[in-house]
Amino acid sequence: MNKMIIRGGHRLSGDVTIGGAKNSTVALIPAAILADTPVQFDMVPNILDVHNLMLILESMNVKSDFADGILNVDPTNIVENALPSKAIKSLRASYYFMGALLGKFGRAKVTFPGGDNIGPRPIDQHIKAFKAMGAKVINDGDKVIINTEKGGLHGASIFLDVVSVGATINTILAAVKANGETIIRNAAKEPEIIDIVTFLNNMGAKIRGAGTDVIRIEGVSKLEAKNTHIIIPDRIEAGTYLAMASAYGNGVNVHNVIPEHLESFISKLLEMGIDLKIHEDSIYVPESHHFNGIEIKTMPYPGFATDLQQPITPLLLKANGDSTIIDTIYPKRTKHISELNKMGANIRYNDGNGSIIVSHTDKLTGSNISAGEIRAGASEMIAGLMAEGTTVISNADNILRGYDNIIDKLTDLNADVEIINDEK
Ligand SMILES: CC(=O)N[C@H]1[C@@H](OP(=O)(O)OP(=O)(O)OC[C@H]2O[C@@H](n3ccc(=O)[nH]c3=O)[C@H](O)[C@@H]2O)O[C@H](CO)[C@@H](O)[C@@H]1O
Ligand SMILES: C=C(OP(=O)(O)O)C(=O)O
């Protein structure tokens, strides 16, 4: 396991460029197996999830190569094979192989996915959609076995009981080559869903309504890539750098951002009194020292993203008075609290109403802490940069799963940070 070592106390300045969105990429790679031609992606983030997805592709004889942000995937010689459980368990988005394999072969056998440990993460809505399209689903130990009758999947009308990014994308992947029309109601509206649909439509899919809560998919028989798909910028990575630069920057320019994807987040930074300069595809964060406390409630897109409530927390420590966070998506997403408190923070979790109360903290001190999941890790990393002394974050793979070239980017911003491998 990797550890991240941060020698804090160096204020951040300069430029950082955001990579392609993790949550698009981890769906686009499974989606690529639906293609009848090789496909190419650009702006692919250099994160552990991508390397693990490449291992899963390899097990199906799908060749891929990745360098300088370009990922080539050739699914033309795909074979049905057992998928490697360790890689499947290393990330959440491996559940997209259920929809993609169903779309490709009319059957799938996939181990339950892993991903961030942020409280219960059921996949009942994914299964409900597959069943509505005619699939038979059996749980066998930690495997989900999905089959269809001869004739494969058929279109269906599906109302999702909860707004789910994963269930929306998985249903699209299963439906894109199914017979007839599938309608998803109460669909999630995240920009990453539009990105996946853009990729599929450019290959000949017929999907309308992505970005609204009703998505219509007319099944097609062929998908052929004719151009490189450029992945949208990662709005969560961007939000993480905006929070970091606001809390501990001397002037930082964040490039390759779509500000419209971050409206709910940006509005909170403005409410705190940070004088952001927002341009077409970059945001300048000036040095700031006085911040107002705020209240945050996480919601499905376009609301405040659950994935940003932990990264903004170190900034809230610098605000006057108390700030409160209610995470309505993952109310138990609190693994950062004990770790930041070890560093001297004053954060409390109210079990009664599920709110997190973040009180003003004058000083953080470097400590030995653990990244329980990706965004807890991001929060701890920012606190480590702000702290006096050295912070050692164990389980740093949880940070590396989702933050593109993180050491190079932080070093370019004047941070003193490195990754070391325990096992050496
Ligand atoms: C790879 C990926 O894109 N991960 C993102 C995705 O995760 P993921 O797709 O797993 O999250 P969902 O949008 O599905 O989850 C939203 C809510 O619905 C519930 N739910 C979901 C599915 C289901 O079948 N039944 C059910 O009850 C979940 O417990 C959660 O409370 O969206 C989350 C919510 O924005 C983000 O935190 C993750 O970064
Ligand atoms: C929860 C997250 O990721 P995943 O769904 O991949 O575990 C995240 O990116 O914050």
- Domain final residue pick, 230, 261, 279: 230
Active site members: 116
Domain count, the chain: 2
Token match 């990264």: residue? Answer: 311
Q: Are residues 128 and 182 in the same domain?
A: yes
pLDDT at 91: 87
Rounded distance between C-alpha atoms, residue 412 and residue 408, angstroms: 6
pLDDT digits (tens, 9 = 90+) for 200-221: 999 999 999 999 999 999 999 9
Annotated binding site for phosphoenolpyruvate: 22-23
Q: Are residues 302 and 162 in the same domain?
A: no
H-type alpha helices, 122-189: 124-132, 165-175
Phi, psi of 67 (to 5 degrees): -155, 140
Rounded distance between C-alpha atoms, residue 252 and residue 230, angstroms: 25
Q: Are residues 38 and 78 in the same domain?
A: yes
Q: Are residues 31 and 104 in the same domain?
A: yes
Nearest ligand to residue 401 Cα: 2
Q: Which domain holds residue 35?
A: 22-230
Q: Are residues 57 and 127 in the same domain?
A: yes
Atom 28 of ligand 1 has which residue's CA nearest to it? 121
pLDDT at 120: 75
Of 115-124, 136-145, 150-159, 341-350, which has the strongest mean pLDDT?
341-350
Q: Are residues 226 and 286 in the same domain?
A: no
Distance 180 CA to ligand 2 centre (A): 32
E strand or H helix at 184, and its extent? strand 181-185
pTM for this predicted structure: 0.97
Annotated binding site: 22-23, 92, 121-125, 307, 329
Q: What is the DSSP letter of 273?
A: T
Give the residue, 424 or 126, on which the prediction is more confident: 126
Q: Are residues 192 and 268 in the same domain?
A: no
Residues 186-197, mean pLDDT to the nearest whole number: 98
Query: Does residue 363 register a pLDDT over 60?
Result: yes
Distance 166 CA to ligand 1 centre (A): 6
Q: Are residues 197 and 297 in the same domain?
A: no
Q: Are residues 40 and 63 in the same domain?
A: yes
The DSSP line for 98-122 is HHHHHHHHS-EEEEPP----SS---
Distance 188 CA to ligand 1 centre (A): 10
Token match 């001297």: residue? Answer: 344
CATH code: domain of residue 141: 3.65.10.10
As a dihedral over the C-alpha atoms of residue 209, residue 214, residue 219, residue 225, rounded to 10 degrees, the angle is 30
Atom 10 of ligand 2 has which residue's CA nearest to it? 307
Q: Which atom of ligand 2 is nearest to the CA of 307?
A: 10
Atom 5 of ligand 2 has which residue's CA nearest to it? 92
pLDDT digits (tens, 9 = 90+) for 365-402: 999 999 999 999 999 999 999 999 999 999 999 999 99
Q: Are residues 107 and 12 in the same domain?
A: no
What is the band of 142 on the pLDDT scale with cuts at 50, 70, 90? confident
Query: Does residue 315 register a pLDDT over 90?
Result: yes
Ligand 2: residues within 6 Å at CB? 91-93, 115-116, 118, 307, 374-375, 402
Q: pLDDT averaged over the chain?
A: 96
pLDDT digits (tens, 9 = 90+) for 58-68: 999 999 999 99
pLDDT digits (tens, 9 = 90+) for 245-259: 999 999 999 999 999
Residues 314-343, mean pLDDT to the nearest whole number: 97
Q: Are residues 249 and 191 in the same domain?
A: no
User: Above 0.85 for ipTM, yes or no?
Assistant: yes
pLDDT at 330: 95
- Domain final residue pick, 203, 230, 257: 230
- Domain final residue pick, 200, 230, 260: 230
Q: Are residues 92 and 211 in the same domain?
A: yes
Query: Does residue 114 register a pLDDT over 90?
Result: no
